[in-house]
Amino acid sequence: MNRHALFSIATAMFFGMCSQVAAQDTAVSPLMRQLNSGNWLPQQEAESLRDELYYQRAIFAYMTMLPALNVIGMRDGSEEKFGAGYNVLPIWKDRMNSLTWVPTPNADVIYSMSYLDLKETGPLVVAAPPNVIGMFTDFFQRTITDVGAIGPDRARGGLYLLLPPGYDGEVPKGYFAFESPTYNVFLFFRTVMKKGEDGPDPSPAVTLAEQTRIYPLWTSEKDAKPMEFPNASGQRVNMMYPVDNAFWTKLKEFVDYEPISAIDPELRGVLASIGIVKDQPFKPTAEQQELLNKAVETAPKMIFANRQLGRPDKRNLYYKDRQYENAWASATSEFLQESYLDIDQRAAYFQFAYSSAPAMVMRSLGAGSKYPFTPRDADGDFLNGSNAYKLHMPPDPPAALFWAVTAYNVVDGTMPETPQLLPSINGFNDVEKNADGSIDLYFAPEKPADVPETNWIQTVEGRDFLVALRLYGTGVEFFDQTWKPDDVVKIN
């Protein structure tokens, strides 16, 4: 073979090898092609993406942990004002009004609320009076049990035994015994007022609430602390959840205090990704502090935006021809839809409300309660305190115990603070009725002319509000929708 032939073969082999290298350069997987042609990212881009992920995880952690921070805010505000301890049960003896900052409070029953610590006390016995409308929840506001007509005592009252997580000791007979997933337990009792000569009479409901007794299971009578029932009415009490970086420090304290079983591993992984790990130091860098602060400011806006824009599936609407909404969007009290956990609806709920129990969701005839609410008037416009509105309710609201209508601030469910202090009207009030028994209620910053004082709820000029209707002891007419409240109508 001559030199020319050898040269030709060598040349062909060289260009063939180059072609193979070129082919190898272009034959990369889709992910490699997407991620910088298979090379590491530029340092600045990698750091920026890491920070973005941290921020997104903080947003998710806020939305997921809001039920816990909601009740932690209530506990901290209550205990700062009235003291702590299993024997301290604040009662709003003169009704709750706008001086108490708490999400969607009910001014039309007598509230008793306490925060029990089973880690500190061990098993606790709660002697519940008869005819209580109440519940025990853990600190994720998951119902441990209803109390009252929907609870195991069936409104007769009884002894409830609350057991700490993982309790393996003796459980005596004779109690309604329940194990809590968290050491912290929220006690929420409501007792119903009677109709007095000039409107609602709270005194019988207060007397009933003060029959509540709470004591450690293994403590003798002589060693149990005597009950204290401070009157929480008429005082400024801030029971709202934090709106700054205290959100994260309180969350860390909660994670450290509760057992590992209280939070599922996947959510613990999300919390760990922002530095919150049980029994490990939480030391965010200055940059992470800024991202956490940004998240605690942005996440509530995201939740609020979802509430404002509404659900595409319309499951939150009670009626096909009304503006009234269902706060659970037809989910269970645990916010379970048919095939998923409704995390957006849960976050929306705990932004402006608290406590969720089967008695509030189930369609129990004559025993449970319903809460249709609306932030909009009949035209679909948001209710604003500068305007005047009328709500017409047909005769005979289906509420065996009582009905009530209340105005709330849209952001956090607190009551608008006006000279009235009680932005609520209920069936125990001497409300002026129409000839057919129907009722017209009015909302305005100043009482409209020719409107009776008893039928007017004062609003705050320039501030949006929502209207909630409560039906306690809900009747069948509500469930089959043969009785429906009219939409709120703008009259000026």
Q: What is the pLDDT of residues 256-280, one digit of tens each?
A: 999 999 999 999 999 999 999 999 9
Instruction: Enter the pTM of the model.
Output: 0.91
User: Could you read off the pLDDT of 83-95 as tens digits, one per residue?
Assistant: 999 999 999 999 9
Domains detected in the chain: 56-62+242-309 (1.10.3360.10), 83-238 (2.60.40.1610), 343-490 (2.60.120.600)
pLDDT band at 368 (very low <50, low <70, confident <90, very high): confident
pLDDT at 16 over 90: no
Report the range of poorest mean pLDDT among 68-72, 116-120, 193-197. Answer: 193-197
pLDDT at 366: 85
Report the range of poorest mean pLDDT among 9-18, 316-325, 378-387, 469-478. Answer: 9-18
pLDDT at 17: 45
Lookup: tokens for 408: 């709330």
pLDDT at 197: 81
d(CA 71, CA 258): 15
d(CA 179, CA 169): 12
pLDDT at 373: 97
Q: What is the mean pLDDT of residues 235-249?
A: 96
pLDDT at 198: 79
